Amino acid sequence: MDGLVADAAREGLIEQGIGFPGGLSVDVREIGETTWKLLGGFEYRAQRDHYFVPEGERTDFASVPRVFIWFIPRYGRYTKAAILHDHLCRLSREGMFSRRDADGIFRQAMRVSGVSFLRRWIMWAAVRWGAVFATNGLHGWSRDAVVVLAISLVVLPIVLPAVVTIVAALLVWYVAEWITMGPLKAAAWTATKRSKQPKTVNTPTLSINT
């Protein structure tokens, strides 16, 4: 039933001229471990303005740190909204757009895309926190501070225990990978001594963000 309500609401917004005229599908190509390139541009129609994301725009979809992916995946119904947000944030860093407006349009685009109420407000609060560390991101931040803090105080007690567990598990796994490096290096050294081609031993990496 909730899905039917979301679809009806989205159709109502589209009839008002708000949303992605081409739907939510998008074509991308992977160009890095966490980076993708848009293969075709698309348009977003807001309440007053239209925005166009050009072909070739780079994105990492929703910029969610690794330890939070279980809670907010990097892609989903909000993928196109996230690509639009990346584009507007780039314009913001170049001084051509307001970061606060970019975050607000992101939330609106998620609503049009059928993202649930709590999820889109949590993701909006997350990008508002991200704005603190972005070029020109603090302009107007105080106007949202109360709402952002309120959302954060509600969500953190729910999310933090799982995050601590995930970080601990990643550290244990990283140590385990390094332990396996000893026998692998020894096998590669032995192969070299026997004039054989040793297998490549890849060094483990630890990343909390990606």
CB atoms within 10 A of CB 171: 12
Question: Is residue 63 included in any domain, yes or no?
Answer: yes
pTM for the predicted model, two decimal places: 0.83
Domain count, the chain: 1
Q: Count of CB atoms within 10 A of residue 172's CB?
A: 10
Q: Report which DSSP code applies to 202.
A: P
In a domain, 175, yes or no: no
DSSP annotation of 102? H
Q: pLDDT per residue over 17-69, tens digit each? A: 789 998 999 999 999 988 999 999 999 998 889 999 999 999 999 999 989 99
Cα within 13 Å of Cα(164), Cβ side: 6
For 56-60, 164-168, 186-190, which range has the lowest pLDDT when averaged over its residues? 186-190
Distance from C-alpha of 112 to C-alpha of 120, rounded to nearest angstrom:
11
Within-domain flag for 167: no
The model's pLDDT over 78-102, given as tens digits with 9 standing for 90+, comes to: 999 999 999 999 999 999 999 999 9
Q: Are 122 and 151 in contact (CB under 8 A)?
A: yes
* 121 part of a folded domain: yes
Structure-block tokens of residue 22: 């081409």
Any domain includes 24: yes
DSSP string, 45-96: E-SS-EEEEPTT-EE-SS---GGGTTTS-SSSTTHHHHHHHHHHHHHHHTTS
pLDDT tens, residue by residue, 128-149: 999 999 988 999 999 999 999 9
Residue 205 CA to residue 208 CA, distance in Å, equals 10
Q: Domain range for residue 94?
A: 2-152
- Residue 88 lies inside a defined structural domain of this protein: yes
Residue 181 within any structural domain of the chain: no
Whether residue 209 lies inside any domain: the answer is no
